Amino acid sequence: MGCRKHDEESGSCVCDAVTAIKKAQDEVDNNGRGDCRNNCFNSLLSPNGNNNGLDTVPFILQTKKGEYFYSVGAIGRNDCFQTIFFRVESVDEDNCCATLSMLRPDSDLDFDKCCVDPTSICDVDELERTRYCIEVDLDCFCSIQCLDPNLVGDIDHHCK
């Protein structure tokens, strides 16, 4: 379960948001919902109703304890990195599980024991798509924050 109990009618807000992001990425369409600049249901991919060529809505997840969820990519290589930034690649709506690709930040994130130092997140100016993916249970998260698609560099690395 997520932060609150839910049933088939109410769903999971994080699962619903990730599913909506996936659909928006697939359609690169203006769905016109919401007034927040970083609303996951807002038209982040085409804010003026025009196709701006962007196909990634980067996002950050937080755990039930309020900590940023992170993962490590390129383990065993000299370009190993830690990230809290993700792109949805696929969602199993029945089980609320998703395949997320890791987005590599252009600056290192600072960690204090187990958790990322939030001030180091402000140093990130660009995210790079990678081929490194993880499988997650979306019910394990309490919040999702969508970021500006313009943060993601234009490269062809992604999971299938």
pTM of the model: 0.78
Mean pLDDT on 31-51: 51
DSSP 54-123: -----EEEEETTSPBP-EEESTTSTT-EEESEEEEEEEETTTTEEEEEEEEESSPPPEETTEE-HHHHTT
* Predicted pLDDT of residue 158: 40
53, 157 contact by CB (below 8 A) = no
The whole-angstrom separation of Cα 43 and Cα 101 is 21
Residue owning tokens 């609303």: 39
Q: Measured in Å, how far apart are the chain's first and last C-alpha atoms?
A: 27
Checking phi first, is residue 76 left (phi over 0); if not, alpha (psi -120 to 50) or beta? left
State what percent of residues in the chain have pLDDT above 90.
49
pLDDT digit string (tens) for 75-99?
A: 999 989 999 999 999 999 999 999 9
Average pLDDT, the chain: 80
Q: Which amino acid is at 127?
A: L
pLDDT of residue 128: 94
> Is 32 a residue whose pLDDT tops 80?
no
